[in-house]
Structure 1
Amino acid sequence: METTLMGHGGLRIPRLGFGTYQIAPRDTEQLVGEALRAGYRHIDTARYYRNEAGVGAAVRACGLDRGDIWITSKLPIAGDDTDEVRSAIDATVDALGTHVDLYLIHWPMPRRGRYPRTWQALRAAQADGRLSGIGVSNFHRAQLDRILADGGPPPVVNQIEAHPHFANNDLRQYCAERGIAVAAWSPLAAGSVLRDPAIQSVAGELGRTPSQIILRWHLQRGDIVLPKASSPQRIAENAAVFDFSLDARQMARIDRLDRGEAGRTGPHPERL
């Protein structure tokens, strides 16, 4: 199975990423270093996480070529004006000590109505060489329709909540039809899906852990997947998902776990 996904402009995005949400700044360098040693080549961070400096330190210390590592970061939630976007990009690059490969609008905040001009500011930053890849996070169809109506290439990625209890299939299909890759945050539903009997059963059949089964399900659906882990053992476990596959019956069993909106664990983007 391909470990990278081809995005717009020939960007090759590693499909397994290490999520750093709620990883304390003091622990970030160590845990990101563990992830890179385990084989991760995509690190996901954000200004809101306050750990970009630790991500950059780990990348510099790992001994790998910078070109072999993909870093995704995100705009501060309040930084939605053009000048604020420029300042936020500079702050991210300064904290990382290197360039960012993909920069996302973190939340659309549709009630504020500023996301269209924020997207235009990202496009301008891309045009002047400050950014290479640009995308969005937590955008629903209405917000995507709005920014696509202005013309230009679509976002490279839409990072959304997705897991077996909240498959988010309608939005995934919408993105696929428009060439927008989907990255799944909270792919394990903050751990709650691990205890599902169907997941446990498939794990037993294959001699794998529940988290490996869920991550494999995401990959076979075509998602970029961003698990977080806080121990070297779990980090390595989550990386070992490219040497087995789920058959059609096992995929269907997991597909049937979808609860729709009742399975959502994070905030609803339309209500922010």
Structure 2
Amino acid sequence: MAAIANPTIMPRFGFGTDKTTKDAVLVALKAGYRLIDTARVYVDSEVNVGNAIRESGLNRNEIYITTKIIPEKHDQVFETVEESLKALQTDYIDLLLLHGAHPEQEKRLSMYKDLIALKEAGKIESFGVSNFNVAQLEEIRLEELPKPAVNQLEIHPLCQHRVIVPYCQDHSIIVQAYCPIMRGTAGEHAEIRALADKYDRDPSQIVLRWSHQKGFVPLPKSNTPARIISNSRIFDFELTPEDIGKLDALDRGKKGSFINPKHYPADTP
């Protein structure tokens, strides 16, 4: 578990739900996942998450729900959050993220201030951002606003954000890693396959363990029950510093074939 800027405690491993089914979320909950990451823009995801939590029999306070609001909803933040609460069948959200930075400074800061107001109103427990670059994070600091608890980024050995990640770590902003198993292609890389053989693990477990040891919060996703369970089994082995270094050396930065340029947060706006 990891303490974040707000009082809530966040699990250090989670389940992503973009394009996943209710049954997949149920499998994840039964397998022990307790951080469930969704977003208003993911089609049917919030509804699937809400139904899965209800059917799981778990108490609401046992589950940490993250959802997100896109920049295009800059003037509908409160209404959109109410829609999320209804879909999720809950009266509060553990972590609400801005799902990207609005291109206009005034509007992105206005959205961020709305997150603060939602926390004060008891609608959310914590707030943060996704795909924000250093300059956009600095805007928040210079406005003397509470810092975001989280910056969620695409993070895996091929995409390591060598500028943004250190900034977040220096300012105690937790980095959540989406696409941590490289959209299921980790096994296509000889270096990762070699480590999988060495540790008698599958390639996805290797890159997830790397993510965890780097201090990130990985959010793997899958609709395959065996894969959902396998992805969670990374806590009974440890990569050596030398092997962490081998994975670190795979970084391609912006040139990685897995990067979506639309969402890649450049160092400056």
Coarse TM-score class (shorter-chain normalised): over 0.9
Distance in 1 between the 2:152 and 2:187 partners?
21
Query: Hey, what does 1:185 align to over in structure 2?
Result: 178
Deviation at 1:243, TM superposition (A): 0.9
Q: How does 1:94-113 map to 2 (within 5 A)?
A: 94-98=86-90, 99-111=92-104
Residues in 2 aligned to 1:138 and 1:73: alpha-carbon distance in whole angstroms:
14
Query: What are the equivalent positions in structure 2 for 1:152-167 lying under 5 Å apart?
Result: 152-167=145-160
Q: Is the 8 A contact 2:128 2:149 kept in 1?
A: yes
Deviation at 1:189, TM superposition (A): 1.9
1:219 maps to which of 195, 212, 216: 212
Q: Does structure 2 retain, via aligned residues, the 8 Å contact 1:162–1:186?
A: yes
Which of 84, 95, 99 is the equivalent residue of 1:92?
84
Distance 2:182 2:200 in 1: 22
Aligned residues: 263
Structure 1 residue 39, shift from structure 2 partner: 1.1
Question: 1: distance between equivalents of 2:106 and 2:184?
Answer: 33
Aligned counterpart in structure 1 of residue 122 of structure 2, from 129, 143, 146? 129
Moved more, 131-140 or 261-270: 261-270
Instruction: Name the residue aligned to 1:5.
Output: 2
- Write the distance in 2 (CA, Å) between the matches of 1:187 and 1:97: 28
TM-score for the superposition, normalised by structure 1: 0.92
Structure 1 letter corresponding to 2:86: D
Instruction: Name whichever structure is richer in helix by fraction.
Output: 1
In the alignment, which of 35, 47, 61 is matched to residue 67 of structure 1? 61
Where does structure 1 lack aligned partners over 5 or more consecutive residues?
A: none
Give per-residue Cα distances to partners, 1:51-89, cap 9 Å, x unaligned. Answer: 1011011111112221111100001331112xx111011
| Greater alpha carbon shift after TM alignment, 72-81 vs 134-143 | 72-81
Distance in 2, matches of 1:216 and 1:185, equals 14
Deviation at 1:113, TM superposition (A): 5.1
SS at match of 2:72: coil
Q: CA deviation at 1:262?
A: 0.8
Deviation at 1:127, TM superposition (A): 1.5
Distance 1:134 1:34 in 2: 27
Give % identity.
38
Q: Distance in 2 between matches of 1:159 and 1:192?
A: 21
Greater CA drift, 49-58 or 9-18: 9-18
Shift of 1:269: 3.8
Answer yes or no: is the 8 Å Cα contact 1:138–1:159 preserved in 2: yes
Is 1:255 the counterpart of 2:255? The answer is: no
Unpaired runs of at least 5, structure 2? none
Equivalent pair of 2:71/2:108 in contact (CA under 8 Å)? no
Is the contact between residue 162 and residue 168 of structure 1 (CA under 8 Å) also seen in structure 2? yes
Distance 2:162 2:65 in 1: 26
SS in 1 for 2:129: strand
**Does the CA-based 8 Å contact 1:17-1:41 persist in structure 2?**
yes
Q: Encode CA deviations 1:198-231: one digit per residue, 9 max, x unaligned.
A: 1000110010000000000000000011011110
Q: Deviations over 1:75-127 (max 9, x none)?
A: 1331112xx11101100000000121100000103257521111011111112
What's 1:230 paired with?
223
Instruction: Supply the AA of the counterpart residue of 2:25.
Output: V
Q: Which runs of 4+ in 1 moved over 3 A?
A: 269-272
Checking the alignment, whether the CA contact within 8 Å between 2:8 and 2:94 is kept in structure 1 is: no
User: In 2, distance between residues paired with 1:254 and 1:140?
Assistant: 23
Letter in 2 for 1:45: T
Residue type of the alignment partner of 1:144: L
Q: 1:134 is aligned with what amino acid?
A: F
The CA RMSD over aligned residues, in Å, is: 1.6
Q: How far off its partner does 1:130 sit?
A: 1.8
Q: Which amino acid aligns with 2:66?
A: T
Is 2:101–2:131's contact at 8 Å kept on the other side of the alignment? yes
